[in-house]
Structure formats: structure tokens, C-alpha cells
Amino acid sequence: MPAAKTLRAQTRKADRNRSARSFTRSRVRAATEVIADGSKSDESDSTLKNAISALDQAVTKGVLHRNNAARKKSRLTKQYNKLSS
């Protein structure tokens, strides 16, 4: 009985985490693609903000470790700042 209950709980948590991870990945991928296009615009600015927001939400939900999210945010911001130079 306890093993079955644990299995059900793990399945629920895995589904929730998968959804949050997928959401975060798609936002980060979108930001990376827009930045790779090489034009600094309102679109690239807003997609970067969305990606950073998604990473922060993933940390809050416990899906990503805070250092992992900080590293990803730093790298995205660094790529974005290269566009102006």
C-alpha cells in the first residue's frame, strides 16, 4: 500500500515538473533563437524577459536549482548584450 501511494505521488510530481520544465525550455529556446538572429529589438528584449521570468518560476517551483537558473540567465544576458557591441 505505501509503495503504491508513493508511486502515484511520484507520477503526479513528475508530470507537474515535466510541464514546468517544458515551458521553461521553450521560453529559453525562443530567446536563444531571437538573439541568434542578431538584431536587438523590442521582440528580443521581451523574449529575454520572458525567458528570465520562466527560469525564476522554475526555481520557485523547485524544478531547477537556483544556481542552474542563474547560470542560464547569465549566459542569455551575455549573448543579448553582445548584440549591441
- pLDDT tens track for 10-36: 999 999 999 999 999 999 999 999 999
For 1-85, strand residue ranges (E) read none
Asked whether the CA dihedral 74, 76, 79, 83 is positive or negative, the reply is: negative
What pLDDT is attached to residue 15? 93
- pLDDT tens track for 49-72: 999 999 999 999 999 999 999 999
What single-letter amino acid sits at 48? L
Confidence of residue 45 (pLDDT cuts 50, 70, 90): very high
- Domains annotated on the chain, with CATH: 2-82 (1.20.58.110)
What pLDDT is attached to residue 17? 94
